[in-house]
Each structure stands twice: as C-alpha cells, then as structure tokens.
Amino acid sequence: MNFDGLVGPTHNYGGLSYGNVASQSNSQQGSNPKEAAKQGLAKMKALMDMGFQQGVLAPQERPDVAALRSLGFAGTDAQVMAKAAKEAMPLLAACSSASSMWTANSCTVSPSADTADGRVHFTAANLNCKFHRSIEHPTTSRVLAAMFNNAEHFAHHAALPAVGQFGDEGAANHTRFCKGYGDAGVEFFVFGRSAFDSRYPAPQRYPARQTLEASQAVARLHGLSEAGVVYAQQNPAVIDQGVFHNDVIAVGNGEVMFHHQDAFLHTEQVLAELQEKLAARGGQFQSVCVPREQVTVEDAVKSYLFNSQLLTRADGSMLLIVPEECRNNGRVWSYLQQLTTSGSAIGEVQVFDLKQSMQNGGGPACLRLRVALKQAELAAVNPGVVMSNALYATLNTWVDKHYRDRLVETDLADPQLLIECRTALDELTQILKLGAVYPFQLN
C-alpha cells in the first residue's frame, strides 16, 4: 500500500535543503500550495484507479510556533511570528516548511514477514541533518500511531537519538526486495557515511544524511535477521553531485532494482549479496542498471528519473511512475523508450505533473511511503486514511476551502496563515479520523 503525503497549506520554496539542487535553485520563488496539494491528490487517485491500494498521510501544523518558542521567541502566536520574521527570517521559514509532504522520509517500515515478532514495525526518522525536518518526528509518530492503531499487528518506535551519529532519513534510504510482498524479504539499507568507523569514505561537498549506525539501529529495533538485511554505501561522488538520498539514484520493488551505474560503492559485491540473500528466500534478484553513458548523474538529478515509483500490476508486469521532468530531458526520455521496448522487467512508463513538489526537490517516490500489509493487517489500518472516490472528492473540496493559490516568504509572517493552517488541520483530523494528533487547540 502506498501512503502519499498530503501537501500542507504552507508549501513554499524556502531553499532550506543544502545538497538538494532543486530546493536550492528555486529558493524564494512564489509557490502555489493549492496546486501542489491537488497535483499530489491527482497522483493518489490515479494509482487507486489503476487498482493499487492507496492511503493518505496528513500534513503537520505550520508555522511551528512551539519550535520558535523553544528558540527564545515569546509572546502571543502573532508576536512570536512577527519577532521571528524581523530578527531571524530563516528560522521562521524553517518552521513554516511543508516538508512533511515527502513521506518517504517519515519513517522506515519493516513488514511482518521480516520481523522477529511477526508485526509491522515503524521507526520515525529523526531527520537530524536539517533543522526544518528535525522538528517533524514527534507529530509523525502520533500520526502513524493513529493510522496503524492496533498493537496486535503494528509496533511503533520513537526516532533514534537526535545527533549526527544517528542521522536517519527513513525510507528514502531503505528498499525491500521479495518474491511476494507477503514472503520474507531482504531489506536494503543504504548509508552515506559511518559515524564511528573512519575506514568508510565520505562526501566532500554535501553532507551524507544517513549513517550506517542509524541503519543498523533500525534493523535491530525491527527484529530483522542478518540473513534478511544488506547494507550498502552510497557513492560519495554522487552525493556531491546532488544525490542527497538513495531514492534519487535507485528504486526497488519486488525482485527488481532500477539504479544508476554509479549509485553505490562496491557495486558488484552489493548486487551479489542481494542476489544471494534473496535467492535463499525464494526470490530471483534482478538489477536494471542504467549506464552513465546513456544517463549521467546530472541528468538523473535534474529529471528525478530514479525518484520514481516502481509498481507491480496485478498481472505481474511492472510500471514506472515518473515526473514530467523525465519527458523534458531528451537523454532520459530516449533511455526510457528503449527500456520499455527492450524486454526488461519494466514494461511501461507513466508521466505525472508534480511540478510544485519537484521544484522543492521531491518527486513521485519522495511523496509516498510503501507499507507491505497482509490482509488482516490491511483490515486493521484506520479506514479514514484509505483513499476512495468519496475521500478524493472530500479532500479536493477541503483544499479549495483552506489553501492559498500563492505564497511568498513575506506571507509566512502573516498570523492569519497560522489560523488558516490550524483550521484546516482541525477539520482534516475529522475527515481522516485521526483523533488528537495535533498539539494545538482552536480557540
């Protein structure tokens, strides 16, 4: 099941993510929160119409006035926002980010077939590398607990310690390979650096956000066996070219990994270990490797070719969901045409317009969290977050009612924006049946 992040009312281009080329290059442009939310909803509806199980993950309260108070700004909510805008606008921008829309960073999920206690495990990501994202995990944990609220089937873990040594970016650096979604699989953790072992190289220009130690800790928390885990280091050279998460250079599904030639260090050993461990679990690993001669890393970053959704249809064929930017890149589009006619595991490509998200550095894969569920577990999911025609219509009406169609940096200091966001979220908790997941109370 794919759970897509619903874009929040404060979606703006703050340029907050150093190392994310799109985020930085579009900084300070005007955004359209209403269009962003509707583009995301359209993708959710399209996947539902194709027969895929689809869910919704709620946005967070922004601006985060509580975070600003913890940084020394005092007074009423309006005064806090005004002082922050006057004295430290970058902090107000960070506390106004709608970055929780990218639910691939919300947590890491291990299905029950892989875990020692036979439950689905969730660990919220601490997102420690960026302040604007590091404030997300308390609300993320509450929202996940409200969505998967059945201790018989689901186990929830708090975020790892909020220090650089345990930097954890969630499912953006985690992929699972399996013969069937209900079968025991091999969980693939990709890290950018080691915090405690200097033998591992590190990028020189941009930060490596995921540590080996964080990945290992999540695997322990989830009760994963050594036979069902592979750790791989991301190529530091591609991090320095703007590949801030593994899901910008590789995507996996079922028995298939679609990846760039330069994605990993020690690629041959990584692929061999994946093949061996998946074979021991009844699967046949397949690598679809994109040569650098056909698609450069720069092309991959600009088009977000690998920040795509790789989905298995009911007939077993695979579909790749890519952003419009892939069609606009001649080399990438030419490669995709060859791919779908070459007899590879990927038989079809579909293009979606996600420009509002893409300009902030998040493509189709960033917007979704994949959760493999058995039938009893699916039945235990909060039904309020499961996409349907009725929910799609309701959420579009909700967006039309509460969202602005233009937002610039100076708007973030408008106290009315906070009121609009809280009013919208108060109504959303009732629509999605989430209960009291937000700390604010409407007056």
Q: Which residues are catalytic?
A: 169, 245, 366
Task: Quote the CA–CA distance of 325 and 193 in Å, as a whole number.
Answer: 30
154-157 and 120-124 strand pairing = parallel
Helices 415-431, 77-87: crossing angle, 10 deg rounding = 120
Q: Is 432 exposed, middle or buried (0-12, 13-18, 19+ CB in 10 A)?
A: buried
Find all residues with CB under 8 Å of 340, minimum gap 6, and list them: 346, 347, 348, 349
Task: Quote the CA–CA distance of 179 and 37 in Å, as a whole number.
Answer: 34
Distance of CA 242 to the CA centre of its chain: 17
Task: Quote the CA–CA distance of 185 and 165 in Å, as a whole number.
Answer: 28
Task: Quote the CA–CA distance of 195 and 293 in Å, as a whole number.
Answer: 33
**Type of residue at 10:** T
Task: Quote the CA–CA distance of 437 and 145 in Å, as a whole number.
Answer: 9
* Percent helix / strand / coil, the chain, rounded to 5: 40, 15, 40
